[in-house]
Structures are given as structure tokens and as C-alpha cells.
Chains A and B, each alone.
Chain A
Amino acid sequence: MKNILEIRDLIVGIDSIPPTWILREANLSIGEGQIVGLVGESGAGKTMVSRVILGFTPEGSRVFGGEIHFCGSKISDLNRDSRPFLLGKEVTYIPQNPMTALNPVQRINDQMTDVLIRYLQLKPRDATKRAVSLLSEVQIHDPEKVLKLYPHQLSGGMRQRVLIAIAFACNPSLVIADEPTTALDVTVQKEILGLIKRMQSSHGTSMLFISHDLGVVSKICDVVNVMYGGQVLETQEADALFSAPSHVYTKALLSATPRYDRPGDLLEPVSDRLVTEMGKTILSWDKRAEACFYK
């Protein structure tokens, strides 16, 4: 299978003395038509991976080592303009918080059609028609009416549906979903997850699905990557990961997650010893890196 995106031994840090490391030789690949999960606790560098791909990195950050390949072409820096794809057309994004991600002073129609007009060169009227069909695709009733509304007139679930429709509007080759259900109600979460999965398979899109929630990831992803301290510790097919985790950290994470299918199991917090141990590994990595890049 061809890979849409490949990240090899990527080292990214903020260029201070000594540098602040954000990604420590991270590896990740996204195959065509796959949903690839990226899990880890906050601060693990999940969001940074998505930002590196999109070209939105914090001020002063740069690539110290490693490679990023998108459809075979190499991306060597973090500059957004040097991306070999059209942002908003070929690579799109589903944000975390639907409540604040839509422009409050624009009608839904304008926010949906702008990419269609911009990238597919549609006439405004045709763009609106396409927006209507997109909205019915994400199961919004009465799409003509919704297009005339402003974001504040929609519920959180509706807004996330609109954002998903925007993300899939130009048939992208890669969609990055950054915790797309975290800000939603549990009842809505399930519907939205199902919707994302359906949209992905019907559009044949590849997807990077970022979450801290192992339960959510297990439902939707084909392949799961576990991240900690800017490194990808383990990459496995979803089923394999949950049945036979190989890394101690993954094991610890799994036994800290409630499982409905095994109601008798005791929950075990990630032990202090493990945390200290992993901290040490990171520290030694940092020392090696400093010796390498900071002479």
C-alpha cells in the first residue's frame, strides 16, 4: 500500500539555547485510505505532529533532523508556503472545538462555499448546490435553511457536522482531525464518530485521528500510534494493539482505561515508577541531542 504521508525520525525543537525539544525522532506513516490514530496524554506532541504537517508551528521552531514526505515529495522545513499540497483543498482539518471554530459573523453558506469557489472554481450558485449536498451527506436536515443561518444559531453537534462537511468539501487526500469529539456531549460523540468514519470511507480519504481517548480510537482507527514525550513508542493495527500491546507504557495506559467488555477488571493508574523511568529515557535522549546539535 502506498503511503500518503511519512514522517521519519523527525526532530523538531524551539531554537533556543539549549533547544526545547518538541518532537524527538518521531515516526509516523499514513497509508492511503487509512484512518491512523495518534494517542497520548497531553504534552505528548500529538498536536505538534498535526501542526508540522499543516505548517503551523510555534514561533522559533525548526526541524533539526528527520524527514517528512507527502505523496513522495519531501518537505524539508516548517514553512507553510513550501507545502507541496494546497492547504484547505488537499489537506484539511477538523478542529477540536466546534463552538469557536466557525466565524461568528459569516453565514454557514459563505463559510462552506469559499473553499469550493477558491479551489474548485465553482460559480457561487453551483457552490451553494454542492454545499447543500455536502450538508445532507453529514445528515443535516433542511440544508437550505441551515446554509442561511449563523453559527450561533446551531448546536455544537450541528456545528461539528458543518465543519466535517467543510473538511471533506474538496475531496481532500488527507484530513487531520484533532480531537474532533472531545468538546461534544457523549451522546453526540458517537454519532459524530460514525459520521467521520462514513465520510472517510465514502470519500476514500486518508485520515490522521488525534485523541487522548483510547476508547474512541479503538472504535474508528485502522492503525494506532502511541506517543509519549515527542516520540512514537508503538505502532500497531488497532485490534492487535488492544489485544496484545507490546510497549510497557501502552500496557499501562490500557489498564488505566475502563473497558466495558471486561467489567470485572480493576483499573490501575500509570505507576510512578514507570513515569520516572520514561522521564529518564527522555532526559538521556535530550542529552544526546544537545551534544549533537548544540556545539
Chain B
Amino acid sequence: MFGRYLMLRLLLAIPTIFCVAVIVFVLMRIVPGDPISMMIPPGASPDDIENLREIYGLNKPVLDQFLIWLNGIAEGDLGRSISLKLGVGQLILNRLPATLELVILSMGMAIFLAVTASVAAIRYKDTLVERVLDTFTGVAQAIPDFLWSLLLLLFFGVILPLFPITGRLDPSLSFDPITNFYFFEAIFTFRLDVVWDLLAHLALPSFALAFPLAASLSRVLRGSLSEAMSQDYITLAQVKGYSRLEVITKFALRNALIPTITLSGVQFAFLIGGTVLVEYIFSYPGLGNLAISAVVQRDLPLIQGLILTFAVMFVITNLLIDLSYALINPRLRGR
């Protein structure tokens, strides 16, 4: 039953991704200026330029280019990057794990922070704790991840140099991973020094991404928690002899998560967009960093491929959110 629902959602995602593909493609073709012009060596002849166009298929009509691109995608070929002169698919696959590690860590951190803050605020309602948390939440939400990155970099990377501010892994550590999922691989091969260094590099960017998300999550979560706390089943839990903290974490929290996921599921997907700038600021070798350089270099095939990748990640995140919603809400599970 549930599998069918999932299949339906996946099928519905395909037109969305297709639309994104079309929009990106059209946008890229109305760019004033010639992407080829950036890569011509000085003194190249018109013939050379024509050759380059030929190689990248830029001399064909737009519709043909689109069909060739679509056909390529279907065969798993996203074209060749103009600036890096490598296959787009390969470039993206190399960088994807780094971004995924960052995204997963940030989301996890955001959920942890939001749940802790909301539970504490409800547990210590009408006390100083609640007011302090209120202020923190307000500031964390007002400042976007872009500014958080810069602030954290300044304070905990430079003025108080606790964390490294560039890259993903200290090159002096000899670590030859088979996959690009450094973090998972380091854990499975028991390279604790590498795990530690990866975490140190991830700390600032993931906090920057997590803060605004945690703040907006905890606003919604607190609302639904205090709503849940007035329900009859909470009274019964209290009469069963549970302490206030137990009542919140064991009874109210799971119920409150249901409306929270509905109301703020989109925010998770938006975190993926945030990685672009954060990775760039911390020179973190992920997709976002690649995207900025592709945009600055006007590398059409690479931009197209990257946007498509982001769109797919976006759709998958939304799907996972729907799934977790169904998992947490028993009313949906039986169907």
C-alpha cells in the first residue's frame, strides 16, 4: 500500500524535474555573450572557434541541442564541462558525497537543536530559560545562513582559531579513500584522526546552515508542543505518574512533530540551496562551490547539470519528508 504511494510520488517527481530541466536550458540559451569566447586561447583562428562549437554542439539549433542533452541524460551522460574539460556527470559524482555529508550533518544538527530548544522552552515555561531561548531563536532566524557562515568564520575560525576555515580534510593526513564519502569511510575504517579532522572542517559550515533552520523549526515545534500539552492524553500521561520532562519527550513530542513536519518540511529542502554559498565561503569542495565557479565561468553544460542535480536532491528531500511524516503518523501508515 505504502509502496504504491511512494511510487506515485516518485512518478510525480519526474515532470517537476523535467520542467526544471527545460527552464534551466532555456535560461542558459538566452545568455548574452558566447560561452566559447571565454575559452579561446589568444590568437585562435575562426576555424578553431568553429571547431570548439562543434565539439560542444553549440552550432546546432536550440531544440536539437535540448534533445541531444535530454538524450544524453537518459544515457547517463550530462555533457562535458567547458571550463574544466571533464565529463559533467563525473565532476558532479566526485563532489556530491562532500555536499551530502554536509547536508545530512546540518539537518541532523538543526533537528537536534530545534528539539532540544523547544523541549527546554516548554519544560521551563515562564522562566528565564524560556526568555533566553526566545532571544536566541529570534536572532538565529533573523540572520541568514550566508551571514552566519561569515560570523562563525570570523569568530571561531580567525579571532578565536578553534576550527579550520577552508577545505574538507587536512592534506597532511594520509587518507586514501575508495569512495568520496570520506566521513562514512573513515568511520568504517576506524580512522578516528580523519573523522575528527573532517568534523572540525564541517563544524562551522554545518552550524551556519543549521542555525536558521533550527530556529524556524523550533518556532513551529514549540507552537505544536504547547498545543499538544493541553490535550487529554497528556493529562492521562501525567496521571500515570510521568514527570513533566517525560511527558514532553515521550508523549507530546511525537504528536507535535506531525504538524511541524507539515508546516516546515519545505525548510529542509531550502537548506540544500544554502549549501551553495556556505561551501563557497568555506572553500568546501562540494557541489555548491563547483556551482559558483561554473556560474562565474559561464560553463553552460556544468551549470545545467548542477541545477538538475540540485533539483533532484530537492525532490528527494521532499519525498523523504513525506515519508517520515507517514512513518510518524500512524493514521497514514496503514494505507
Contact = CB atoms under 8 A, between A and B. Distances in A.
A–B touching in complex (CB under 8 Å)? yes
Interface of A: 54, 56, 86-89, 92-93, 95, 97, 100-107, 114-115, 118-119, 150, 152-153, 163, 166
B233 A86 contact: no
Contacts of A95: 232, 235-236
Nearest to B126: A59
A179 B293 CA distance: 70
Interface of B: 231-233, 235-242, 251, 254-255, 258, 328-331, 334
Contacts of A153: 334
A119 B251 CA distance: 18
Given A105-B255, A105-B328, A152-B330, A92 B239 contact: yes
A105 to B, nearest CB: 5
A114 B255 contact: no
Given A103-B251, A152-B330, A56 B235 contact: yes
Given A100-B233, A103-B255, A87 B330 contact: no
Given A56-B238, A150-B330, A152-B331, 20 more contacts: A54-B239, A88-B239, A88-B240, A88-B241, A88-B242, A93-B239, A95-B235, A100-B233, A102-B233, A103-B237, A103-B251, A103-B255, A104-B255, A105-B255, A106-B251, A106-B254, A107-B330, A114-B240, A115-B240, A150-B331
19 contacts: A86-B241, A87-B240, A88-B240, A88-B242, A92-B239, A93-B239, A97-B232, A101-B233, A102-B233, A103-B236, A105-B254, A106-B251, A106-B254, A107-B330, A115-B241, A118-B241, A152-B330, A153-B334, A166-B240
A186 B241 CA distance: 32
A160 B328 CA distance: 24
A87 B233 contact: no
B232 A101 contact: yes
Contacts of A88: 239-242
Chain B facing A: main interface SS: helix
Contacts of A54: 239
B153 to A, nearest CB: 41
A161 B231 CA distance: 20
Nearest to A91: B239
B244 to A, nearest CB: 10
A89 B258 CA distance: 31
B237 A56 contact: no
Contacts of B238: 56
Contacts of A115: 240-241
A101 B240 CA distance: 12
Contacts of A86: 241
B235 A87 contact: no
A101 B235 contact: yes
A87 B331 CA distance: 31
Nearest to B254: A105
Given A105-B330, A150-B330, A152-B331, A100 B232 contact: yes
Contacts of B241: 86-89, 115, 118-119
Contacts of B235: 56, 95, 101
Q: Which A-B residue pairs are the 9 nearest by beta carbons?
A: A88-B241, A88-B240, A100-B232, A87-B241, A150-B330, A93-B239, A103-B233, A101-B232, A105-B254
